[in-house]
Amino acid sequence: MKTLFILNDPPYGSERTYNGLRLAGVLAKQPGNEVKVFLIGDAASSAHRNQKVPQGFYNIEVMLGNVIRHGGKVGICGTCMDARGLADSELAEGSQRSTLAELAEWTAWADKVLVF
């Protein structure tokens, strides 16, 4: 199954991004599944490299890495990155600047599109 996750909320302060990445991580680990995650709006900040969170608190950068390590792709809206002053060099390893055109391609590719 091919699943696209579109995440809109910031990495912290709401649990929507956290829960979307929890599900994406589990699906990415299962044989036969392909997962893509697109970060748009405030979710673009989720791909910031070197996040430091309090002991025992979840780390969104680590969760994105889990999806990537299991063959998933992570794209970040380039316009949203620019609006937040997020440079390509500041992106988490394995994630990439993307476009709405690529989001459209990923949407057509997917069997399921889940929006968080």
Please give the pLDDT value at position 66: 97
Would you say 109 and 3 are in contact if contact means Cβ atoms under 8 Å apart? no
At 73 the three-state DSSP class reads strand
pLDDT tens per residue across span 23-42: 999 999 999 999 999 999 99
Specify the pTM: 0.96
pLDDT for residue 78: 98
Q: What fold does the segment set 2-115 form as a domain?
A: Hypothetical Protein Ychn; Chain: A, (3.40.1260)
Residue 4 pLDDT grade (very low, low, confident, very high; cuts 50, 70, 90): very high
Q: How confident is the model at residue 111 (pLDDT cuts 50, 70, 90)?
A: very high
**Average pLDDT, whole number, for the chain?**
97
Q: How many angstroms separate the CA atoms of 45 and 47, rounded?
A: 5
Share of the chain above pLDDT 90, in %: 99
For residue 43, CA distances in Å to 5, 25, 30 come to 12, 17, 25
To 5 degrees, how large is the angle CA 109–CA 112–CA 116? 115
What is the pLDDT averaged over residues 59-70?
98
Q: What confidence category does residue 88 fall into, taking pLDDT thresholds of 50, 70 and 90? A: very high
Contact yes or no for 1/28 (Cβ under 8 A):
no
**Is the separation of the CB atoms in 96 and 75 below 8 Å?**
yes
